[in-house]
Amino acid sequence: MASLGSMNIVTLTFCVIILTTCNHQAHASSRVFLNKKNDKSPIQGLCASSVTIHGFKCEEHEVITKDGYILSIQRIPEGRSEAKSNVTKKKEPVIVQHGVFVDGATWFLNSPKQNLPMILANNGFDVWIPNTRGTKFSRKHTSLDPSNKTYWDWSWDELVTYEMPAIFDFISKQTGGQKIHYVGHSLGTLTALASLAEGKWENQVKSVALLSPVAYLSQMKSILGQIAARSLLSKECQEKLAQSECVGATWKRKYDEAMLKMETMSGEIEQREHEVHKLRRQIVKKNVQIELRAQGYHNLSAQGSVGSSSKMHIQILMNSLLQRA
């Protein structure tokens, strides 16, 4: 049995390498979707849009966090070839957690042979795909509406404190208390590292694989990257930033310098754009003179000798060329 568990971990690691190179008590409601042509029941969600169309069995679940957010979680309990059989096997569960600004659908952008959840399902794993609060499939709350600003008053701190524990508790209960493999990408690695540092997964996780891991943001040199990093801080931390109580005076100084540099660069760009525009107009005026001379208007300063119709022609030509600048 020990060797079998080791083989599963090796298989999981191998699947991840392939892709990188080519609750508290959670309450839940679920429904199972099968890819049956005669099934006329309404089907919505990630299962219908990305999973069952490829012949995989898929389940839609909802988990309520302690702070009231209702999360959508999809489960692929078996591989495509197994979906046609009635054989039920106990499998090791694995969570596949998406990154920031996206949802679980991003795991299915590639074909079934090239996306991680389906590869894992075909290799004998019980695959779970959570969708973080605020994403397309997880915009429900027990009392708040997404149009309410309070709904969005959270940061990754709440993901670690409320969301990940609810997900782990629910999946653990659904799979008979088995330890869970975890694969995270981007934000999914940040929440994993914070959770592990606080010992939240000590008795629940079996292995962890991190894709594009995020731990420390202070080494980022990009101005936009630094601003984005600051946006991930909690509201309390952002308020304390001005007094250098949260991330230190050094980080605050670097941030202020970056903002000043951005403002300076913005002013310089605007000034250069004005100079370029002025130069373009000068070039166009020069081209107007060349064009008029080519049409026989050699003495441009003596417009008094030119007829009214010719004056109008000159003006129209000049306006037309100047508008191109």
Domain ranges of the chain: 2-215
Residue with the two structure tokens 């009214």: 308
Query: Is pLDDT above 60 for 275?
Result: yes
Structure tokens at 120: 């894992």
Residue with the two structure tokens 């990305």: 50
- Tell me what pLDDT residue 158 has: 93
Reported as a pLDDT band with limits 50, 70 and 90, residue 270 is confident
Amino acid identity, position 67: D
Structure tokens at 7: 């083989």
- Tell me what pLDDT residue 29 has: 43
Contact 39, 90 (CB under 8 A): no
Provide the pairing of β-strand 205-211 with 180-185: parallel
pTM for the full predicted model: 0.60
Cα(77)–Cα(87) distance, integer angstroms: 12
Q: Which of 14-28, 122-136, 160-174 has the lowest mean pLDDT?
A: 14-28
Measured torsion, CA atoms of residues 10, 199, 128, 150, in degrees rounded to the nearest 10:
-150
Cα(129)–Cα(85) distance, integer angstroms: 23
Contacts 24+ apart (CB under 8 A), 34-43: 34/83, 35/83
Structure tokens at 142: 């027990």
213-257 per-position pLDDT tens digit: 886 666 666 666 666 666 655 555 555 555 544 544 555 566 566
Q: What is the mean pLDDT of residues 294-299?
A: 62
CATH no. of 2-215: 3.40.50.1820
When mean pLDDT is compared over 31-45, 169-183, 238-252, 271-285, the highest value belongs to 169-183
- Tell me what pLDDT residue 41 has: 41
DSSP one-letter code for 115: S
245-265 per-position pLDDT tens digit: 454 455 556 656 666 776 777
- Tell me what pLDDT residue 281 has: 78
Cα(288)–Cα(303) distance, integer angstroms: 15
In order of 5, 54, 91, the CA distances from 125 in angstroms are 12, 17, 6
Amino acid identity, position 185: H
Query: Is pLDDT above 60 for 306?
Result: no
> Which residues pair with residue 44 across a beta bridge?
none
Backbone angles phi, psi at 185, to 5 degrees: -125, 135
Cα(41)–Cα(56) distance, integer angstroms: 18
- Tell me what pLDDT residue 223 has: 65
In order of 93, 94, 147, 173, 212, the CA distances from 178 in angstroms are 7, 10, 38, 8, 27
- Tell me what pLDDT residue 26 has: 39
- Tell me what pLDDT residue 16 has: 46
- Tell me what pLDDT residue 310 has: 61
Q: What is the mean pLDDT of residues 90-105?
A: 93
Reported as a pLDDT band with limits 50, 70 and 90, residue 56 is very high
Q: What is the mean pLDDT of residues 29-45?
A: 44
